[in-house]
Amino acid sequence: MHYLDWIILVGVMAWIVWDGLRRTKGRDKLEGYFLANRSIPWWAAGLSVMATQLSAITMIGTTGQGYTDGMRLVQLYYGLPLAMVILSMTLVPFFYRAKVYTAYEYLERRFDPKTRSLTSLLFLLQRGMSCGVIISAPAVVMSLILGLDVTATAFLIGLPAIVYTVFGGVQAVTWTDVKIMVLIIGGLLVTVLLLIMGLPDQIGFSGAMHLAGVTGRLQPIDFKWDPKQTYTFWSGLIGGTFLMLSYFGCDQSQVQRYLTADSLHSARHSLLMSAYWKIPLQVLVLLVGILVYGFYIFTPPPMLFNAVHEREVQQSARAADYSALQGKFDAAIATRRQAAETTAIDWQNGAGRDSEAAFLSADAELKRIRGEAVAIVKDVSGDSNYNDVNYVFPTFLTTYLPVGLVGLMMVAIILAATDSIAAELNSLSTATVIDFYKRYWEVEATDAHYLNVSKLATAFWGIFASIVAIWASELGSLIEVVNRFGSFFYGSILGVFMLAIMWPRANGTGAFVALIAGIAIVALVATTGIAFLWLNVVGAVAVFVIGAIISELTGPRRVPKP
């Protein structure tokens, strides 16, 4: 990167941290530190909700997905608007009126302490580990792009988050989220514009989109009914609704964003902002990936997007094979470009679609050659899971964007990880202090005492996440187990909340036993190879049904009145 880009990157990061801390008020009380004294306007809480969900993995992974697979992934979000409406009508008013700090606190008021502690513990376990992944996944990619050590990059991502979350609390997190969202959306829009300008004049936006369509990249809706296919209209609409209900309604990292809103009306509006804008935002991110694909049809791409692995191969015993493959790749690029031009111009002139077959064949040949190159890397590196799709977007940015804009986009990607990690640290600290420390350890203490403990808890989770991130490769299988375990209980926790609201005679024993049974059932169903989105439906329904039956058998419990 050019030194000007570095100045921009460091400058923007410093400004974001400083301004986040400067805007923080009333953080000397626990409610100020964790809930911003319930003073955040709806639009800021709404942007914070969206920023927490949009991490660096979205910026580099989703654009990569758009490049290779097109629009298909957007179907994951088809249930989100419906989930937001349901939550605004049900859980949000319950949380807001109950004046809780955590979603799990509500479960003790409705059921008993053990149900609250178990759900909160599951949250801490899964989120604590995923925090490490939120840092490590982009750190690995960005370290190569920035030419830094992985540990240094992990600190570049994690340290600002730890600093402004420890000292600024939730207000710093929210106001930083707002700025980062503006930066990310602005950056993506400018990138789309530059990509369109980078296409040949006779092809333009419509020609590039047609070529993407011919290769099957424009399939935003797939009505096929196949429970084993990850992204279909049905899995997105039904499974996605349950996933989003669970994520936005039962996950403290999201619930805390809208609990900071200045009224129940604002809390609802902050969620509805996602309902209106999440799908268009995901379309924008995927469109960037699709346009990068179109751009690289007419501007030769590298055979491998991970330059470090390419150098390793060139210095290995298989350098000659790789070099021969590079010759074939260059020839195939020229053939595909020729076929693409004919296809796009024929389509624009209404001259029939006969040339599409030649373009598809050239595209398939290029894919085959790239597959051979990837196989050589796997052979040389010994990494059987090697995949360079996450390097596509950052490579494009650093190669073709003008100086200054590269720095802005790099800082946008890094800050996308930073703001997600900050929200996670803030919520992990809240659950630790409110659900465990204040509940079991120091029940009666001053606000100043709890505030100090909260800062320590935030710092602890920050250090924990950094250690997980740095040792991510060694902890690989453990992280995978925890994440897999997390997908088992996501729907199940939603089932507990459904039970709390929809089954008036449900009791603590029913909820607690059903939660454990639900997780076990989901783990069992997962072995059938069913797509993960459906696991949320299975978990929620299983917990609800089992909980209702056990509650009926063990005697009704009167619903507490205000």
Partner 1 sequence: MTSDQPDQEERDAPPIRHHYVLVIVVQVLTLTSLWFLARMFR
Q: Is 215 or 418 the residue whose CB approaches partner 1 more closely?
A: 215
CA separation for the pair 267, 255 (Å, rounded): 10
Contact, 210 vs 343, CB < 8 A?
A: yes
Among candidates 536, 490, 545, which has minimal Cα distance to 514?
Answer: 545
Among candidates 195, 222, 184, 196, which has minimal Cα distance to 73?
Answer: 222
User: Least CB distance from residue 360 to partner 1, whole Å?
Assistant: 13
Q: Is 276 or 440 the residue whose CB approaches partner 1 more closely?
A: 276
Q: Is 124 or 279 the residue whose CB approaches partner 1 more closely?
A: 279
CA separation for the pair 187, 524 (Å, rounded): 43
Q: Is 276 or 441 the residue whose CB approaches partner 1 more closely?
A: 276
Contact, 397 vs 406, CB < 8 A?
A: yes
CA separation for the pair 221, 211 (Å, rounded): 18
Name the one residue in this structure whose structure tokens are 């076929």. 339
Q: Is 89 or 197 the residue whose CB approaches partner 1 more closely?
A: 89
CA separation for the pair 30, 37 (Å, rounded): 9
Q: Is 263 or 452 the residue whose CB approaches partner 1 more closely?
A: 263
Strand partners, 261: 40
User: Least CB distance from residue 559 to partner 1, whole Å?
Assistant: 8
Among candidates 85, 460, 120, 417, which has minimal Cα distance to 256?
Answer: 120
Q: Is 273 or 542 the residue whose CB approaches partner 1 more closely?
A: 273
User: Least CB distance from residue 99 to partner 1, whole Å?
Assistant: 9
Contact, 309 vs 381, CB < 8 A?
A: yes
User: Least CB distance from residue 93 to partner 1, whole Å?
Assistant: 7
Q: Is 95 or 155 the residue whose CB approaches partner 1 more closely?
A: 95
CA separation for the pair 490, 125 (Å, rounded): 12
| DSSP 3-state percent helix, strand, coil across the chain (nearest 5) | 80, 0, 20
User: Least CB distance from residue 450 to partner 1, whole Å?
Assistant: 21
Q: Is 76 or 428 the residue whose CB approaches partner 1 more closely?
A: 76
Spell out the residues 6+ positions from residue 304 whose beta carbon is closer than 8 angstroms to its own: 310, 313, 370, 373, 374, 377, 388
Number of alpha helices (DSSP H) and beta strands (DSSP E) in the chain: 24, 0
Among candidates 247, 253, 259, which has minimal Cα distance to 40?
Answer: 259
User: Least CB distance from residue 380 to partner 1, whole Å?
Assistant: 39
Chain residues binding partner 1 by CB under 8 A are 71, 74, 78, 81-82, 84-85, 88-89, 93-94, 97-98, 106, 109-110, 206, 209-210, 212-214, 218-221, 263-265, 268-269, 272, 275-276, 279-280, 283, 560-562
Among candidates 456, 558, 428, 546, which has minimal Cα distance to 122?
Answer: 428
Among candidates 210, 195, 188, 244, which has minimal Cα distance to 75?
Answer: 244
Q: Is 178 or 500 the residue whose CB approaches partner 1 more closely?
A: 500
CA separation for the pair 261, 247 (Å, rounded): 18
User: Least CB distance from residue 354 to partner 1, whole Å?
Assistant: 16
Contact, 104 vs 250, CB < 8 A?
A: no
User: Least CB distance from residue 220 to partner 1, whole Å?
Assistant: 4
User: Least CB distance from residue 364 to partner 1, whole Å?
Assistant: 18
- Most distant pair of Cα atoms in the chain: their distance: 79
User: Least CB distance from residue 272 to partner 1, whole Å?
Assistant: 5
Q: Is 402 or 560 the residue whose CB approaches partner 1 more closely?
A: 560
User: Least CB distance from residue 95 to partner 1, whole Å?
Assistant: 9
